[in-house]
Structure 1
Amino acid sequence: MHFITGADISKAGFIGEILILFAQSKGLATCWYGHYKLSELERLMPHLQSAQQLKESNMGYGYSKGVTTGRRVICISPLGYYEDNGLRLMDRITKKTSSFKRKEIKDLLENPNEYDKLTDDILYALDLGRKAPSAANSQMWRFGFEDDFETITVAMPVGYKHFKWEHPDVDIGICASHIWLGLIDKGYNPIVTVNEELGRVVWKLSI
């Protein structure tokens, strides 16, 4: 499975995570995979429009030079059945040391002093959000609130740059999808808006 997106990369994270969670609900093992060689992927699945899009950066597989424009695969996802014995040694080390470690909700708030003002339903949704996958488990999202805590905002800190991953706004969309599902699970019908503010994508979920 692959995720092709045009200009709106952040929405690919939201929609892609819904697909991945659906696959997992059917017993399939999957993950987000952003490290691949663009030229090899183009050979297997032609979709790029220009040679410029094939230029690799010095950061590693899956990274283009400069800002991605036009339609391009930004992530791929294997679909299969999980076998613990099939993991490489490095995969096993990563799984035990970092894959499942998550920051506490309070540590992810733009204003930690607002924690005690949050309802149980909001905390439930944020707990699902903090458990979302992210590149190198960076957990770069921060949660804020508007409209007397009836709107949750999800965004990177202003000026944030990931040390390696080219599309951190994808991760913000992934996190937002978890919060959206959490609110729905609690009986809400959240209104979702996506805007760009101060150079980063900001998701807003209003109940």
Structure 2
Amino acid sequence: MKPVFPVEKTIRERSSVRSYDPRALSTKEKDLFYDFIKSLDNPFSVDVNFRLLENNDALKGEKLGTYGVIKGARNFIGASVPDTDLALEALGYSMEHLILYAVALGYGTCWLGGTFDRSAFSHAMNLKEGDLFPVITPLGYPAEKKRLMESLMRWGAKSDQRKDWNELFFKDNFSTPLIKTDADDFAFALEMTRLAPSAVNKQPWRVVKSQNAYHFYEAKTLKEGKHSFDIQRVDIGIAACHFGLAAAEKKLQGGFKKLSLPDISSPAEMIYLFSWDLNS
């Protein structure tokens, strides 16, 4: 799916918004997002279920809560997937595409993976047996003034910092950093990948260019929480979305595909997930 917004401008403008003007979205605005959700796809052929939620959609009239992390938001988007291969990556891919669309329209969003009332939100999501429900985002109008807590959270998480190229992108092995000139036209897609958001800003993606492919790995640095899913696989999907949208905008050849395990010597914490195959 080709982007309907300027990729680099939107990616660079995106930031986590935690303080909102307490206005609900209008029916017309909701329909705009419903229509975009219907058009969403992902390269992993996984059906991602999105629900646009109201603050009072919880059980018994309770409000959907975020433990004080988000203030003023009246609307949220939740996403769930069946527990299948590359499901979390697909969710991250599709939801980041939706978030960037919202950002391009001037709305505020914020990836939330742990700091929300999962029980209340799960009821509102109407989940099926076995569904994975890892993340939500508020969706609304950014408040004119940020709270002190919001600024402190951004500072503590080093939200504005990203790893350097030589820590994320490699050539043929994990010992040789990829030089930008060796990436040719894909340098832009990789730079957009570098700027992707992630849980506690761990940036767990690693990409190895080898022969006719860019191989995506997870650098596993966080333990699975009590909900028994790997939130960093969502992060890899987010990064892949940035790569895919940038490649589509520049009309670069290839596509995402899960290949046989690449013949690349890798550290134990590096887990191969999928590749951008130039021959696809």
Normalised TM-score (structure 1): 0.77
SS of equivalent to 2:119: helix
* 1:32 counterpart residue number: 111
Which range moves more in the overlay, 183-192 or 133-142?
183-192
* CA distance in 2 between partners of 1:84 and 1:99 (Å): 20
* 2:178 counterpart residue number: 114
SS of equivalent to 1:106: helix
Does the alignment pair 1:184 with 2:248? Answer: yes
* 2:152 counterpart residue number: 93
Give 1:38 deviation, angstroms: 2.4
Which range moves more in the overlay, 190-199 or 173-182?
190-199
SS of equivalent to 2:138: coil
* CA distance in 1 between partners of 2:183 and 2:221 (Å): 32
Judging changes above 3 Å, is the alpha-carbon distance between structure 1 residues 116 and 174 closer, same or farther for their aligned structure 2 residues?
A: closer
* 2:187 counterpart residue number: 123
Judging changes above 3 Å, is the alpha-carbon distance between structure 1 residues 5 and 94 closer, same or farther for their aligned structure 2 residues?
A: same
Contact 2:112 2:135 in 1 (8 A): yes
Aligned amino acid, residue 142 of structure 1:
R
* 1:137 counterpart residue number: 201
* CA distance in 2 between partners of 1:201 and 1:37 (Å): 32
Instruction: Report 1:37-116 matches (<5 A).
Output: 37-49=117-129, 70-85=130-145, 87-96=146-155, 98-109=158-169, 110-115=174-179
Contact 2:78 2:137 in 1 (8 A): yes
Judging changes above 3 Å, is the alpha-carbon distance between structure 1 residues 118 and 39 closer, same or farther for their aligned structure 2 residues?
A: same
Give 1:171 deviation, angstroms: 0.5
Judging changes above 3 Å, is the alpha-carbon distance between structure 1 residues 22 and 195 closer, same or farther for their aligned structure 2 residues?
A: farther
Judging changes above 3 Å, is the alpha-carbon distance between structure 1 residues 177 and 134 closer, same or farther for their aligned structure 2 residues?
A: same
Structure 1's consecutive aligned runs of 4 or more residues displaced over 6 angstroms after TM superposition are none
Normalised TM-score (structure 2): 0.58
* CA distance in 1 between partners of 2:186 and 2:196 (Å): 16
Aligned amino acid, residue 274 of structure 2:
W
Judging changes above 3 Å, is the alpha-carbon distance between structure 1 residues 39 and 124 closer, same or farther for their aligned structure 2 residues?
A: same
Give 1:77 deviation, angstroms: 1.1
Question: Which sections of structure 2, spanning at least 5 residues, go unmatched?
Answer: 1-76, 262-267
* 1:56 counterpart residue number: none
* CA distance in 2 between partners of 1:108 and 1:161 (Å): 14
* CA distance in 2 between partners of 1:112 and 1:83 (Å): 45
* CA distance in 1 between partners of 2:162 and 2:106 (Å): 24
Aligned amino acid, residue 41 of structure 1:
F
Q: CA offsets, 1:93-137, max 9 Å, x none?
A: 232451110011111123434326523422211110010010001
1:16 is aligned, of 95, 110, 125, to 95
* CA distance in 2 between partners of 1:188 and 1:116 (Å): 16
Question: Which sections of structure 1, spanning at least 5 residues, go unmatched?
Answer: 50-69
Matched pairs, number:
182
RMSD: 2.4
Does the alignment pair 1:151 with 2:210? Answer: no
Q: Once the two structures are aligned, what percentage of the paired residues are identical? A: 26
More helix by percentage:
1
Contact 1:154 1:202 in 2 (8 A): yes
